[in-house]
Amino acid sequence: MKRVLIADDDESIRWVLQKTVTGMGFAADLAEDGDKALALLGKNPYAAAFVDIRMPGMEGIEVLERVQARKSPTRFFIMTAVHRPDVAARSTRAGAAEFITKPFDLSRIEGLLRDVAQEASSRERPFRPEEGEDWASARIVGKSRAILEVFQSIGKVADSDATILLLGERGVGKELIARCIHELGGRRGPFVAVNTTAIPRDLQEAELFGFEKGAFTGAESAREGKLSAVQDGTLFLDEIGDTPLDLQAKLLRVLQEREYTPLGSNQARRFRGRIIAATNRDLRKMAADGRIREDLYDRLNVFPLRVPSLSERKEDIPLLADYFLQKYCAVLSRPPRSFSKEALEGLSAHPWKGNVRELENFVQRLAVLSTGKLLRREEVARELAKAEGAPDPSSAPMEQLVEERIREFVRRLGTAIGSETGLHGLFVRQVERPLIRVVLEATGGNQVKAAGILGINRNTLRKRIAELSLSPKARKKGKGR
């Protein structure tokens, strides 16, 4: 039997929680102060622990810190009558999965205990990356053939001054690839990223090339631009395809002559750095359409490097998801967590249209919202459904959930729906089968009780059990039908 620790100096709180905990099938140990709680935690394994912040002697947060709650398999719930954000933040940093303010609703306690019970009884096990191999080389995580081919290309070009053009869909990690090239190239200067579309049109040239005092209204002093700041480093030009045509001509000179002239100056300066550009557009077509200069495209396309989409490297999704989960648990001061292998199978099957960026944002949200140490398939599927705008199965009305599934089925049929003739019977059976199965389980296989609950005749129930190929759960001996 799984054990739960209840540590509170208020006897009435201990009594209420003990009744709730034992009523849900757990064994309960009680502690009236922090010292006793710490001693019990050191002696017994617990599935969960409810710990009050203010107790005689050692406070609850100190108890969590002493037992290293962030690394413990026990799920800790901090209780307090103090409604203060800083206390909640301290509790979270110490490793608390939940911050419970008094007076609390017992239904919430029961919900937390149900989660603990599900996690404890789950057959899902934590995912562990293969030992002895480090796939997090230079910020890039992966071991797929697609990403290894990118690594090979990086190795060939990293220590040269050749201009590189990174191609790929949005969110594939083009800037991370650029940073990796910069770092592996051993450059002394900085890595400077510029997205001209994020800069107001009338400031783009000044931002890149710098300006002299009096170059334009408001230029009260000279200022260096990005090209100057990047000396002996790397200039990363993101979304190069969106660069205005007049600015393209000046960038061409930088690539061609390795020099530039600040606004308001008549003296050219040498550019001593490397340029890496990136785009998710078809620059060849844009050049043919006149939306980008052909000579600029030729200069950028010295060493094109295509970054694969996440759909081309699905075997990297478990490694990426685990990497992001560990990263954000640390950054956000959350207790360490793991995905189950089954949860990662669900993530791997998901179509990540936003690629690695979308996956990272989703895992970050899980790191914030999840209260358990193990993220299971059901929880991940629920959050994926929310992210796509689907109703939350835990709170949406039954009719809405059924309607969503029917709409999905009809969408998949497409034009073939015209040839269907038995949809009504199909969906009635799909609802009726789990309904009868669940009620039979709830009654221990007692068909008389099940028929009464369902509001149908006992013989009708027997007939439906046979027709739906259901196997009623065997009843215990000594119990009446």
Residue by residue, pLDDT tens for the chain (481 residues) are: 889 999 999 998 999 999 999 998 899 999 999 999 999 999 999 999 999 988 988 888 899 888 876 677 888 998 988 767 667 777 777 778 888 888 888 888 998 898 888 776 665 666 666 544 443 444 688 888 898 888 888 888 888 889 999 999 999 999 999 998 998 888 889 999 998 788 888 788 889 999 988 888 888 888 898 999 998 999 999 999 999 998 999 999 999 999 999 999 989 999 999 999 999 999 999 999 999 999 999 999 999 999 999 999 999 999 999 999 988 888 877 778 899 999 999 999 999 999 999 999 999 999 888 877 889 888 898 888 887 765 555 555 667 667 777 776 676 666 667 777 777 877 787 788 888 988 888 888 889 998 999 899 989 988 888 888 887 554 444 444 4
For 291-308, the DSSP string reads: SS-HHHHHHHTTEEEEPP
pLDDT given for residue 52 in this prediction = 93
435 near 465, Cβ under 8 Å?
A: no
Structural fold of domain 3-121:
Rossmann fold (3.40.50)
Superfamily of segment(s) 158-307: P-loop containing nucleotide triphosphate hydrolases (3.40.50.300)
Amino acid at 73: P
Q: Quickly tell me which residue has 């100056």 as its tokens.
A: 265
In sequence order, what DSSP letters do the residues of 388-399 get, joined into one string?
TTPPPTTTS-HH
- 252 φ, ψ to 5°? -60, -40
pTM: 0.64
CATH superfamily of 421-467: Homeodomain-like (1.10.10.60)
Which has the closest alpha carbon to 481: 443, 453, 435? Answer: 443
List the structure tokens of 395: 């709170």
Fold equal for 158-307 and 316-387: no
Determine the CATH number of domain 316-387: 1.10.8.60
Delimit the domains of the chain by residue range. Answer: 3-121, 158-307, 316-387, 421-467
Q: What is the pLDDT of residue 127?
A: 66
Q: Would you state the pLDDT for residue 104?
A: 84
Half-sphere exposure of residue 60, counting CA atoms within 13 Å on the CB side? 31
Degrees, nearest 5: CA angle 190-192-196: 165
pLDDT at 297: 95
Q: Give the whole-angstrom CA distance, residue 250 versus residue 268.
A: 12
